[in-house]
Structures are given as C-alpha cells and as structure tokens.
Amino acid sequence: MLLRKMNNTLKNSLYSIPITIRVTLWYTFFITILIGVMITFSFFAANTFIKTESREELTEAIHKLSFRPGKFKNFDDGIFFIKYSNEGVIIDGLIPDNFDPTLPNIKKPEVKTYRHNGEEFLYFDAPLRIHHMHNKGEWIRGILPISKFYKNINILLIFISIFSPILLFIIVYGGYKIVKNSFKPVNDISNTALEIQNSKDFSKRIKLGNGKDELHKMAFSFNKMLDSLEGSYTHEKQFSSDVSHELRTPVTVILAESDYAINYAESLDEAKDSLSIIQRQTKKMSTLINQIMELAKLERQTCLETEDVNLSNLISTSLKDYKYMLDDKNIQLFSDIEDNLIVSGNKTMLERVFDNLFSNALKFTNSKIYVNLYKKENITLEIIDDGIGLSNEDMENIWHRFYQANSSRNKDNNQGYGLGLSMVQKIIDLHNANIYVESELNKGTKFIIKF
C-alpha cells in the first residue's frame, strides 16, 4: 500500500512538470549516456587500433630490413633500429631515450612491450637473413615508442571532455527551444479554450499562421470545431429569441382577453367573444409548439428507415388532394410527371416535403403552378410558381428557422411561422438529396430537389 502511494505521488509529481521540460530531460539523459558511451568506446577503440597498427607496422619494417641488411637505417618512419652481434653487443643503430638496449634477444617472432619512466615502447627482434657463409649470428631490433600516440589520445580526450558539455548544452538548449515552439500550438489551444470558457465568446480562434504539421492540422480542426460550436450557439440563441418573440403576442392577447372577461365583461356574449379570441390564440400557440417539437425531433434524427417509394405515384396522388383548393383560388396547375420513378426514402416524410413546397406555391403564386418530375442524371422534382419571387437576401435565409420573407409576399390569411422550409431541408438532408431555389423578383420562384 505504501509503495503504491509513493508510486502515485511520484507519478503525480512527474505529470505536474511541463511536457517540454519532461521531453528535454528525457532526451538529455539519453544523449549524456550516448556521449559517455561514445567517448569510452572511442578510447578503447583508439587504444586497440594503435597497438594493432603499431605491431603490424613494426613487424613489417623489421622483416623487410632483416632480408636487406645492406639498407640498414638507424631510424625510419618513427621506428628506431639497433643491430646486435651474436653476443648481444650493439654494432650499429639509434637508441631512444628511456629504453633499455640490454634487453635479451627475443628468440621467437613476438612483439614485446617495455615501460619505463612513463614511456611505453613496442620492440621486435629478428635475425639478419644473410648467406650462411657470412652469418655471424647478428640480429636487429626495432623499437617503436607509442607513448606519443597515447599523449595525442589524451589531448583528444581532454578536448572532447571540454567540448562535450558545450555541445551537450547546445543540443539540450536547441532541443528545448524546438520542443517548446513545437508545443506552442497546444498551449495556444489550451489558452483559447480557457478564454472561451471564461468569456463565453465563441468567436475566438487559434492564430498559428501557415503550417502543415500535425499540430497545425489539430489547430485547424479545433478552429473548425469552434466554427461549428459558434454556429450552434448563435443558432440556439436566435432560436430561443424567435420562440419567445412568436409566443409573446398570443400570450399577451390571452392575458388581456382573460383579464377583460373576468373583470369587465358585462354579458355572456362579451365573455364568449373573449373566449373565442383566447381559443384562436391558444390554437396558434399549440400549432407553433407542435411544429417546433417536430423540427427538434427531425434535427436529432441521423438516419431513416427507408423503402422504395414510387415518387411519381406519391406526387400524382398528392396533387389530386389539392384539386378543389386550386379551383377555389382559380389557380392553374401544369404537371409533367414521368411514370414509375423510384427513390429510396421515407414515404411520410417525402409527402411532407411535397406538401410544404406545394402549399408555399399556393400561398404566393399569382395564377399558375408548374410541377415537373423527370429523370436525367438524377431524379428531379421542380415546383414553380409565378408569384412576386424572392430577393437574394431572402433566398439565403429562407432555410433558417422562423425566417419569413418580406410581408408583401405573405397574404393576410396565409401567415406562417417560418418553420416549414427548415423542416424540408432537414428531411432532404436525411435522404442524402439536395434542394435549391431559383427566384427573381416579380417573376416567380422555382424549388428544385435532386435525389
């Protein structure tokens, strides 16, 4: 239990350290070990290389000289040569300082090491290879001082020991700056998120400049998410405001009429008039609330249970239901419906889409409505009226909840709530279809759906 608590405390302490510091400490530790291993390996490798190369160089030089005694030299390429008689007396040659020339002859081909006064030598003996008639038992010795090589190595090691901490500092500091700058987008993301949380201002964005690395992509995705959140937040605020606005009038009327009926109505007829008004306003509120709930249900829906729907039959049947309404309003209907066009969808929702669009055409047309259903690249439905049309601003906003075009487009008996087209667009989206509107003021409006 105690060990677990200590382990948890250590982990908490470790995670309280900034990531940049943790990463820097991590690679600093390994770089330090790596440099230490490299220096140690270099020392042993250099030592082995020096001895191996020196032994080969020494034996090769002695073997060459033993077969050509006439070319004897006292010194050549860092090697000292001494010629001895059979009795071990020096005949010729040069003796390096701190080397004992009286060392006995090595009878076998072996390189020996001699150390004295801090100096180290390699030496190798070989008999002179001359004609046996002239062979007097003379031999030669080659001596190679290797202390100077070790001195050079020591100088190099001292230089590395001095330079390594400087190099390590440059690597660590440079790495820290790179890591810190690399994590700057993360810090910006955190700060932006905190600012949004504290200020409730969804318009703030992360500013990173140009970049294509993973952190810039993450910041870009975060900004896109903020765009979506800001849109949803603004949308919901507007929705709440619009609902309040739409409900304020009927509630005010109901309160006023109920107060009048209770306090001022002097007859049953006056009370009935007030109750009639209250009933109309209540029905209006009920219709609005039902539409809002229906739209909310649609917006929560992400998929549909679909079936093959004969769109040709659906529209032809729906148009028959409007026959008396068209006659009553003296509106001409022109339809061109291709037979047996099948789409995959929800029949009830598709009926609702057509009813909404056709009802709009009935509200705003002057005298004619055109309904076309055909298939080219896609199955396409067109509903066209010859009303006063829509402005560019109206065409951009008609899909928004509660939006209604200018009042001149609405007839007194056809006031709506601006929810129908929002529902249409959501249903079309659920069917993976597309809806477009084309319009020109005083010339009419065309709604186009492509399945």
pLDDT value of residue 329? 85
Q: Quick check: is 359 in a domain? A: yes
Res 418: pLDDT: 61
CATH classification of the domain holding 236: 1.10.287.130
Comparing 11-15, 174-178, 204-208, 424-428, which segment has the lowest mean pLDDT?
11-15
15 band by pLDDT with thresholds 50, 70 and 90: low
Beta-strand pair 368-375/332-337: parallel
Residues 121 and 246 in one domain: no
Spatial CA neighbour of 405 closest among 434, 445, 449, 377: 445
pLDDT at 132: 47
What pLDDT does 412 receive? 45
The pLDDT value recorded for residue 408 is 42
One domain for residues 67 and 127: yes
Asked if residue 156 and residue 51 are part of one domain, the reply reads yes
In a domain, 19, yes or no: yes
pLDDT at 362 > cutoff 80 = yes
Structural domain including 351 reads 305-450
Q: Are 371 and 358 in contact (CB under 8 A)?
A: yes
436 and 376 within one domain: yes
366 within a domain of the structure (yes/no)? yes
Residue type, 218: M
Beta bridge pairs of residue 383: 371, 447
pLDDT of residue 381: 92
Beta strands in 85-187 (DSSP E): 90-93, 112-116, 119-127, 139-145
Number of residues that make up the chain:
451
| Region 98-105 average pLDDT | 88
pLDDT of residue 184: 74
> Residue 372 pLDDT > 70, yes or no?
yes
How many domains is the chain built from? 3
Residue at 45 is within a domain: yes
Give the pLDDT mean for 399-420. 55
pLDDT band at 300 (very low <50, low <70, confident <90, very high): low
Q: Is the pLDDT of residue 446 over 80?
A: yes
Task: Indicate whether 429 and 310 sit together in one domain.
Answer: yes
Between 289 and 389, the higher pLDDT residue: 389
CATH number at residue 320: 3.30.565.10
Q: Identify the band that residue 148 occupies on the pLDDT scale cut at 50, 70 and 90.
A: confident
CA distance 148 to 119: 9
Between CA 136 and CA 69 the distance in angstroms is 13
239/233 Cα distance (integer angstroms):
10
Query: Up-side HSE of residue 328: CA atoms within 13 Å toward CB?
Result: 7
Shared domain check, 322 and 445: yes
Structure confidence at residue 342 as a pLDDT band (50, 70, 90): very high
Most confident of 39-53, 135-149, 196-210, 410-424: 135-149
Within a 10 A sphere around the Cβ of 181, how many other Cβ atoms? 10
Domain C-terminal end among 298, 321, 346: 298
pLDDT at 164 over 60: yes
Judge whether 107 lies within some domain. yes
**pLDDT band for position 301 (50/70/90)?**
low
How does pLDDT run across 310-322, given as a tens digit for each residue? 999 988 888 887 7
- Whether 201 maps to a domain, the answer reads no
Q: Quote the CA–CA distance of 244 and 130 in Å, as a whole number.
A: 123
Residues 6+ apart with CB under 8 A from 357: 383, 424, 447
The three-class DSSP label of residue 212 is: coil
- 294 & 309 share domain: no
Residue 5 resides in a domain = no
At 428 the pLDDT is 84
Mean pLDDT of 75-99: 87
Asked whether the predicted pLDDT for residue 399 surpasses 50, the reply is yes
In the predicted structure, residue 409 carries a pLDDT above the cut 60: no
Q: Which of 105-109, 116-120, 291-295, 424-428 has the lowest mean pLDDT?
A: 291-295
Q: Residue 283 domain-assigned?
A: yes
Question: What is the rounded distance in angstroms from the CA atom of residue 328 to the CA atom of residue 322?
Answer: 10
Instruction: Assess whether 309 and 290 both reside in one domain.
Output: no
Cα–Cα dist 206/298, whole Å: 33
Average pLDDT, whole number, for the chain?
78
Residue 90 has pLDDT above 60, yes or no: yes
- 279 plus 323 within the same structural domain: no
Q: How many CB atoms lie within 10 A of CB 328?
A: 8
Q: Are residues 354 and 309 in the same domain?
A: yes
Domain final position from 275, 298, 321: 298
Judge whether residue 235 has pLDDT over 70. Answer: no
Is the pLDDT at 350 greater than 80? The verdict is yes
**Among 115-119, 149-153, 271-275, where is mean pLDDT lowest?**
149-153
Cβ atoms within 10 Å of 143's Cβ, excluding its own:
23
Same domain, yes or no, for 351 and 286?
no
Last residue of one domain, picked from the residues 283, 298, 313:
298
315 lies in the same domain as 435:
yes
> Residues 6 or more apart from 356 whose CB is under 8 A from it?
420, 421, 423, 424
Beta bridge partners of 145: 121
